[in-house]
Amino acid sequence: MDAISVIRTKRDRGELSPEQIDWVIDAYTRGEVADEQMSALAMAILLNGMNRTEIARWTAAMIASGERMDFSSLSRPTADKHSTGGVGDKITLPLAPLVAACGAAVPQLSGRGLGHTGGTLDKLESIPGWRALLSNEEMLHVLETTGAVICAAGDGLAPADKKLYALRDVTGTVEAIPLIASSIMSKKIAEGTGSLVLDVKVGSGAFMKNIADARELASTMVGLGTDHGVKTVALLTDMSTPLGLTAGNALEVRESVEVLAGGGPADVVELTIALAREMLDAAGVKDADPAKALADGSAMDVWRRMIAAQGGDPDAPLPVAREQHVVTAPSSGVLTRLDAYGVGVAAWRLGAGRARKEDPVQAGAGVELHAKPGDTVTAGQPLLTLHTDTPEKFDYALKSLEGAYDIAAEGTAYEPAPVVLGRIA
């Protein structure tokens, strides 16, 4: 086997053999296949696709590249959730402690930002002292004592995916459905969770721009999970508009705490509760009401214990960017569109994301929304506030917001898209 022949097979729209897939994943993990070569293969996969047989084998090879975890010693059933990535998608932060407060254990292995979408670990690392890297023993201890853990996948878990995940972020290949499906499911299956709920985003701010592609991705992942004995369900959810009122690391943590305190934006609360109900059902936990657990403070109690168990201070002030720039409404009327992709790219350019896999992120950078589609605005009122430590980034971020919102005449009827667009099981 050699990397060039594997690349040529997919470049020429051929089907990769099981032997080719097994070899290239193993060789890339060991460093025999260079980043440049895997980048070329990833681009060929993006352009020419993979069939179900190839995706299944690619996923199995990713799993086989490392260890598999076992949560059978825990005193409660496990349920995990994964989002395919969106703008302002801080749902994992309130969701994990909420589900734990209702009786399931949540072993949430999360990632960092990809392109214009935020990363859960980047967000949580804005909390002073919080650490993403835990040993397997530490992870099990936090799970048993608090009911939830959010951390990075260890080096031994699907190491092939860890390398490829970072590479996709900086080579324009994030959107490839086979690579998204295998990346997510290899980690989740190797993680050992008993059940899994997938949040597959649809819209301008998602990697899946239309409902057909989202259904294809969701069906592929549900099939992969089911074949490996993991009860898997997917919700298709709207990502044409940012979730909540913030996009950026510390900004989103602050908003998540508001949700756990019984407040927060309605769309974030709605999706958090919908996913919690799916997770509890998949885990076999009956007669638990996640809405009640948000209202009575029990989810907040789990959040505080979970953050502290990973070295964080839940009472510490969150970082604030040194510079702000306010974007005002150019006219009065009804805000009918606020493009999630434009907002996500602006947050990324302000420093909330990374252009290279080794880049740091700014904890305080991002975009704060002062209005959502359907709201009436007045000319000159704040529409968005941009946050960054590096004010020279403002002009670049503002370019991504050109044409990203529409304001119609006062009295214009607006029909919001539902948060949940469909379900696949």
Q: Which residues are catalytic?
A: 82, 161, 168, 183, 187
CA 48 to chain centre: 25
Residue 239 · residue 201 · CB < 8 Å: yes
Quote the CA–CA distance of 113 and 357 in Å, as a whole number: 10
Quote the CA–CA distance of 15 and 388 in Å, as a whole number: 46
Locus of tokens 């699907």:
158
List Cα–Cα distances, 171 to 5, 168, 175, in angstroms.
21, 5, 11
DSSP-assigned letter for residue 88: S
Where does 233-339 have alpha helices with state H?
Answer: 249-260, 266-283, 290-295, 298-309
Residue 112 · residue 353 · CB < 8 Å: no
Judged on CB neighbours under 10 Å (0-12, 13-18, 19+), 395 is: exposed
Contacts of 321 (CB under 8 A, 6+ apart): 350, 362, 364, 365, 366, 387, 388, 389
Quote the CA–CA distance of 284 and 280 in Å, as a whole number: 6
Query: Facing residues of 359 across strands?
Result: none
Quote the CA–CA distance of 118 and 363 in Å, as a whole number: 12
